[in-house]
Amino acid sequence: MFTQAAALRVSPRTSLSARPERPKPADPRAELQLFFKAYDAANLDFDADAVVALYDLPCLISGMHGNGSFTARGELRAHFARVFTAFRQQGLVGASLASLIITALSDEFARAEAVWSFTDPRGRDAANLASAYTLRRAALPDGGRWRIVHALALDDAERIGTAKRPLLVLSGR
């Protein structure tokens, strides 16, 4: 039976210094900038395959019109293909980042808030969508790359910006 005490025991032959050190990750700011540059490029022409490559599995996608949990690349690709088809049917041809705020939560997790600007066939801004993302640094053998684990499509960016306020604030004594 596994107990907490057994989990904390260290072999007398193993010194703390003999344990392999975890390598210090690269600058997460630079990595996350590159990540969102790739995400921006993928959304510029609604490339479902390129977008799917930026998600970890399993992942969750939530929004005003429902939620989806994905455990396979094929089902995630089918989801984005449907979303991008719907965008095209609305006369939209691509999306690009209008604003991006990234907050590092740790070396392995980050949160991002983005506003996507959608363009029509004439290259004019046609709509905006605010989204929030939770990202984690994927474990090796994936090379420690950042991947999205939860995407939250919020709503029209202008309404979200003016309505944003804390739902609950807790403070200690």
- Per-residue tokens: 19: 């344990």
pLDDT digits (tens, 9 = 90+) for 114-130: 999 999 999 999 999 99
Q: What CATH number has the domain bearing residue 119?
A: 3.10.450.50
**How far apart are the two ends of the chain, measured CA to CA in Å?**
41
* pTM score, whole prediction: 0.75
**pLDDT at 12 (0 to 100):** 47
Predicted pLDDT at 64: 78
Between residues 172 and 148, which one has the greater pLDDT?
148
CA 1 to chain centre: 38
Examine residue 20 and state whether it is found in any structural domain, yes or no. no
% of the chain at pLDDT higher than 70: 71
Question: H-type helices in 47-146, by residue range?
Answer: 48-52, 73-89
Quick: pLDDT tens for 70-103.
Answer: 999 999 999 999 999 999 999 999 999 999 999 9
Residue 113 falls within a domain, yes or no? yes
Q: Is residue 172 part of a domain?
A: no
Residue 43 to residue 80: CA distance in whole angstroms: 11
Judge whether 170 lies within some domain. no
| Length of the chain, in residues | 173
Assigned token pair, 170: 């807790």
pLDDT at 125: 92
Q: Is 22 a residue whose pLDDT tops 90?
A: no
Phi, psi for 171 (deg, rounded to 5): -140, 150
pLDDT at 55 over 90: yes
At 4 the pLDDT is: 40
Give a yes or no: residue 7 inside a domain. Answer: no
What is the distance, to the nearest Å, from the Cα of residue 20 to the centroid of all Cα atoms in its chain?
A: 30
pLDDT at position 28 over 90: no
Residue 83 phi/psi, 5° resolution?
A: -60, -45
Q: With 0-12 CB in 10 A as exposed, 13-18 as middle and 19+ as buried, what is 95?
A: buried
pLDDT the model gives residue 115: 93
Mean pLDDT value of segment 101-113: 91
Tokens matching residue 81: 């293909």
Determine the pLDDT at residue 154. Answer: 85
- For residue 143, tell me if it sits in a domain: yes
- Amino acid at the residue 131: S
Q: Worst-scoring range by mean pLDDT, 21-30, 46-55, 59-68, 121-130?
A: 21-30
Question: Which residues, in sequence order, are bridge partners of residue 2?
Answer: none
Q: Is 27 exposed, middle or buried (CB count within 10 Å of its CB: 0-12, 13-18, 19+)?
A: exposed
Range of the domain at 75: 26-160
15 occurs within a structural domain: no
> What is the number of other CB atoms lying within 10 angstroms of the CB of residue 70?
20
Instruction: Indicate the number of domains in the chain.
Output: 1
- Residue at 12 is within a domain: no
Distance CA 171, CA 118 (A): 40
Residues in Cβ contact with 104 at an 8 Å cutoff, skipping those fewer than 6 apart: 28, 29, 32, 110
The shares of helix, strand and coil residues in the chain, as percent rounded to the nearest 5, are 30, 35, 35
